[in-house]
Structures are given as C-alpha cells and as structure tokens.
Amino acid sequence: MLRSMVSTAEREIRVGLWKIHILHHAAAREVWGLWLLEELAEHGHRLSPGTLYPALARMERHGWLEASQETQARGRRSYRATAAGRRLLAALKRDVAELYREVVLGRAPRGRAGASGENRGAAARHRKRTPSTRAGTK
Ligand SMILES: [Zn+2]
C-alpha cells in the first residue's frame, strides 16, 4: 500500500470533507469502497482503505448510510444515503456554500432571505473587523 499522502493531523480536518463527499454520492447512487477510493482519488484525495472503511462504518452507525442487502450477499458492501443522511446533506450543502463564499470568495456573511436587521448588523460588524478597516480606526 502506498504511504498515505495525508498526515494524521491533516486527516483530522479533512475527514469531515470526505464524509460530505461520500454523502453526496451515496444520495445520488449506490456506492462502495473501491468506487469511492477511485472517486476521491480523482479529486486528488488519496485515502487508504484503512481510512475509508472505518469512516463508512461510522456513517452507517450514525444512520446516514445503509448497506444494501443484495450486494452484501455478493461480498461487496454497497451503501445508499438514508433519509436522515439526505437531510444532513441538505444542511451541509448550506454550510459548504457559506464556507465557500467566505473562505474562497472572501465575502462577508449576508443576512438570510427575510432576515431581521440583527443579521444584517452582524454582517456589517463582520466587515468592520477586516484588517484594512481596523488599521484605519487606530
Ligand atoms: Zn466526487
């Protein structure tokens, strides 16, 4: 087995991203270990089976994935997202979109649709905390 390209410390933060990825695919189709390893590798994430399989087992234990009976009989454990897994994915999509807006696009949080002035105030306060503005108030 190739040495993992991801350190233990990095794995701690990346494992959540991999799980979102797994949930995304399991909501759309049946997935299994090898397919996921290849899929994640295409995105540049080289996981070892020793990282992926325990993650799948934990996701199943949490009730986000369920193993399909027929493929289990053929010796391959396949998974689909459960209703709970789909609900979680929907919430995570909002989190990922928000994270992308801020971390990648560098935009301040926006008030949600129909939000009160309180949320818009939070966005304004957030903008005031940017280094350029802070330097100006000194
Ligand atoms: Zn993918």
**How far is residue 59's CA from residue 27's CA, in Å, rounded to a whole number?**
13
16 assigned to some structural domain: yes
- Assigned domain for 96 exists: yes
Range of the domain at 102: 8-107
**What is the domain count for the chain?**
1
Tell me if 119 is assigned to some domain.
Answer: no
- pLDDT-derived band at 29 (thresholds 50, 70, 90) equals very high
| Ligand 1 midpoint to CA 126 (Å) | 33
Using DSSP, how many helices (H) and how many strands (E) does the chain show?
7, 3
Average pLDDT score over residue span 38-55: 94
CATH number at 90 reads 1.10.10.10
> How many whole angstroms from 119 Cα to the centroid of ligand 1?
33
Whole-number pLDDT of residue 10: 84
Q: Which two tokens stand for residue 131?
A: 């280094």
- At residue 9, the pLDDT reads 83
d(CA 68, CA 95): 29
Contact 23, 92 (CB under 8 A): yes
Instruction: For residue 123, report the distance from its CA to the centre of ligand 1, in Å.
Output: 32
Task: State yes or no: pLDDT of 137 exceeds 90.
Answer: no
**CA separation (Å) from 24 to 90, 94, 97?**
9, 13, 14
Residue 32 CA to ligand 1 center (angstroms) comes to 13
- Does the residue 43 lie in any domain? yes
